[in-house]
Amino acid sequence: MLLPDPSPVTDLIEAFRRSKIMFAAVTLGVFDRLHDAPARATDLASAGGANADALERLLDACCMLGLLEKAGGVYRNAAVAETYLVSTSPNTLTGYVQYSDSMLYPIWGNLVNGIREGSHQWKTTFGFDAPIFSHFFRTEEAMRSFLLGMHGFGQLTSPRVAAAFDLSRFRRMVDLGGATGHLTIAACEHYPGLRGVVFDLAGPAQMAREKAALSAARDRIEVVEGDFFTDELPEADLFALGRILHDWSDDKIDRLLRRVFDRLPEGGGVLLAEQILNDDGVGPPWANLQSVNMLLITEGRERTFDEYRRILERVGFSSVEGRKTGSTLDAILAIKTSQ
């Protein structure tokens, strides 16, 4: 009897090992040190206070993963690591790597419990009741590191989201929970007639000011501090919500979208950027994985386009369209029109 190819199973058995190799290399500062200059394992071990033999094994594993290159016993960053795993890179993802290592990796250890209970695992894993972000943002350094990681993701996805629909008819976009402003920046750079507002809490808002100041569209971008659940929303004919709705339960989504709907003029719109599940709920892979992640760390989940359409229509929006962007975030545009 010919047995099925076991690689789908064996690859998954080893998948967490690959992640932890990258996580450990980031934590040990390997990519930052090799950004300064190529080096041998003994030199890196001496500089980082590590065991030389153990570190060499880690470095060789990073080479196997395509993160490092090795020649004559000297290691250097591969291009992908130089771009995304060096902390000073403008495209760095190291903040999200560290968040994944220190917060997500432990909480995923309680996945079985989360499935049985159908709820997040903050208290089981860390012993606190507040949302996981409150704990992770307990220091300014942790908050900035995480937001820089999300900014790196945003630079990959936001230009595609901004271009998914023709938004040239809109004049003022307010990005609710806009974090570092990557979606606002991408939209304003793509549409020269658009003015943008990043609306978020004080910590992210300060980082948004820093990032907006670097944009060619900086004169058309402002940053306003506030809580989109409780504070008055700025005036706009287009609101954007990027990776916001997937954090919340249906009742909180309804409350937020009704605030947006009531604030919009006739003909105004709302632009959503989310990981949209296929119609049958299976795939794309990043959306399924993120939906399970949302179970463990938030009140929310990922949804299909039809589920988002029904939510938007329930609060009064019409002309709901969805577009695949070719990135890990897709786009939905809904319009406020008279029925």
Residues involved in catalysis: 246
Report d(CA 114, CA 110) in Å as an integer.
6
C-beta atoms surrounding 313 within 10 Å: 13
Q: Give the helix ranges, DSSP H, for the chain.
A: 7-27, 30-36, 41-48, 52-64, 79-84, 94-99, 105-108, 111-117, 122-126, 132-136, 140-163, 182-190, 202-212, 250-263, 285-297, 305-314
Give the H or E element holding residue 75. strand 74-77
H helix runs in 138-249, sequence order:
140-163, 182-190, 202-212
Take residue 172 and report the two structure tokens written for it.
């003022």
Q: Which residues pair with 1 in a beta bridge?
A: none
The CA-CA-CA angle for residues 227, 232, 233, to 5°, reads 80
Q: Which of 296, 179, 180, 299 is nearest to 247 (CA)?
A: 299
Write down how long the chain is. Answer: 339
**How far is Cα 220 from Cα 205, in angstroms, rounded to an integer?**
16
